[in-house]
Amino acid sequence: MELNRRTVIAGAAAAGIAATTLGTGTAQAATGSPGRKPVRELFGKLADGTKVHRWSLENGGTRLKVLSYGGVVQTLEIPDRHGRHANVVAGFDTIDDYVAKSPYFGALIGRYGNRIGKGTFTLDGKSYQLSVNDGVNSLHGGAQGFDKHVWDVEPFTRGSDVGLHLHYTSVDGEMGYPGTLRTKVTYTLGRHGEWRIDYEATTDRATVVNLTSHVYWNLAGEGSGTIEDHELRIAASRYTPTDSGLIPTGELAGVAGTPFDFRHAKPIGRDIRAGHEQQVQAKGYDHNWVLDKGITAKPEHVATLRDPRSGRTLKIATDQPGLQFYSGNFLDGTLTGTGGRTYRQGDALCLETQHFPDSPNHAAFPSTVLRPGQTYRTTTIHTFGS
């Protein structure tokens, strides 16, 4: 394994396959009792007739609905300070909308989350040309990334936890990436309602890997309006400035004295129109924060998001070295969500745990190389409160 590439050894959740359906039930509070077993239903079909299923999970007051298509988190409901549940993630009602126009709503991202400049990189002296789908660059794995495939899904219960194992095999050469990559992602709802994601992958040839989740959050409720009044804290003293194509320049710039300073919680809208050159070209925030903790052996708390109106909070813990904060800059009012409302600029945000964008082209960035015999492992935990 590369010396500067230390993936998490904290293991993925163990298997323990359970029945796929269960009759009517209610979520258990944080008592240690198991939550409701995953329930499967038909969500729709792709143009070639492939069935897409939706899985519903409940535990500890959190309700989660996941699609086999792209591992998409379609809805995630949590209570506010008065115990009233609301869906706090952006999404669509139909599979047709996800296929035709989704900006990665709720999806699993791979092989490489974020951007790779000009869709090229060199590994072990050989150059690779990837699928280009963001101007001249490759974004989120290319035109047919992991978000656009149907995953195999296995439900499980384990003690007081409930969850899903999702499997996808990316063949050698898919979207230009070398090696056959066998990927397993585990979604777990814990007894306190926390949502854990464990990623695991192996390869038969040297390749690059950077998996993440692309959930769009609005803690006031999906479709309720702007997230600019949400308060955000990120434990990062530096970030990676980008060029006009949103590709990192290679600099690790200090956040002090800039709109990128979220070391103390502040409303997202406070500095979003400050006129900083980086914000102008990104139309807001769309950058990678260099987490102060670096790569760690287990997930550590790195970000807190709070909605003052509802009292809902989201805390994110990860072992990864970076966090991409995207303020929903390209939502333009043309997409209608699960609640029947349109999404406009700044109506949702993303907090993507990851390695840095374009790492394969920056030797000084933590490596994203995975080789045969190694196992890629990483974990992100979302904890909710009110």
Active site residues: 214, 352
CA distance 64 to 255: 35
Q: Which residue has the tokens 């287990």?
A: 298
* β-sheet bridge partners, residue 81: none
Are 316 and 303 spatial neighbours (Cβ–Cβ below 8 Å)? Answer: yes
**Phi and psi (nearest 5°) for 147?**
-70, -15
* β-sheet bridge partners, residue 248: 242
CA distance 243 to 223: 31
CA distance 340 to 257: 40
**Phi and psi (nearest 5°) for 285?**
-100, 125
Are 269 and 232 spatial neighbours (Cβ–Cβ below 8 Å)? Answer: no
251: amino acid identity, one letter: E
